[in-house]
Structure 1
Amino acid sequence: MIVAFSLSPSGGDAVDADGGMSAAVAEAVRVVRESGLPHQTTAMFTYLEGDWDEVMAVVKRAADAVAAHAPRVGLVLKADIRPGHSDELTGKVERVDRLLD
């Protein structure tokens, strides 16, 4: 399964001096990177690949890390649930690239 998720802290100490939320988001990204699961971070979403329980546990830990900075956390999550498939985080892109060559 692949999930694309985004966490948005609000209130409390979530806002950086420059008006951004980088410190809170960095803690979520740290959780993802330490998970050992395949992942990609973009400007808008973090993508994570693994089985249901692994992925959802990481999303929860990442949300908890953001919640340490803010009294309220928004979560947007999209999932591609496809049992029996792996390496799709890069595989999907590679298949499209081959068609474009």
Structure 2
Amino acid sequence: MLFAFSVAPLGAGESVTDSVAEAVRIVRESGLPNRTDAMFTTIEGEWDECMDVIKRATEAVGAGGHRVSLVVKADIRPGRTGELDGKVERVEAALAADEAELGHS
């Protein structure tokens, strides 16, 4: 299962970098496959282990304030692993096939 989440303190001023860095540190220390971009951190694993990481990251972000914003999106595909990279690889392969087809028309 893939879980993409964004967590940030509310009322923390202009920059949330330090709080978000602490959340990402927790994710990386979890050992779960993960990727962080400008909008979300995505982790891959089973329900309980992913939700535990999201909870701990959220609690860390909230430690310095009184309110936290959390957005979570999940792709639940039991029995599948390696989807953090697999989904992207399939899209890239489809694009490459389209380009090859257009190049030979």
User: Is this a same-fold pair by TM over 0.5?
Assistant: yes
Q: State the AA in 2 paired with 1:3.
A: F
Offset of 1:10 from its aligned partner? 1.2
1:37-65 Cα deviation digits (max 9, x unpaired): 00000111000000000000000000011
Instruction: Within 5 Å, give how 1:19-98 maps onto structure 2.
Output: 19-98=14-93
Q: Any unmatched runs of 5+ in structure 1?
A: none
Offset of 1:69 from its aligned partner? 2.0
Q: State the AA in 1 paired with 2:26.
A: V
Q: Any unmatched runs of 5+ in structure 2?
A: 97-105
Identify which of 85, 95, 100 aligns with 1:100.
95
Cα distance in 2 for residues equivalent to 1:78 and 1:50: 14
Larger radius of gyration between Structure 1 and Structure 2: 2
Offset of 1:95 from its aligned partner? 0.8
Offset of 1:88 from its aligned partner? 0.2
In structure 1, the residue corresponding to 2:78 is in which secondary structure?
A: coil
Cα distance in 1 for residues equivalent to 2:53 and 2:73: 14
Aligned to 2:100: none
1:9 partnered with 2:4? no
In structure 2, the residue corresponding to 1:85 is in which secondary structure?
A: coil
1:56-83 Cα deviation digits (max 9, x unpaired): 0000000011011221001100001110
Which has the larger share of helix? 2
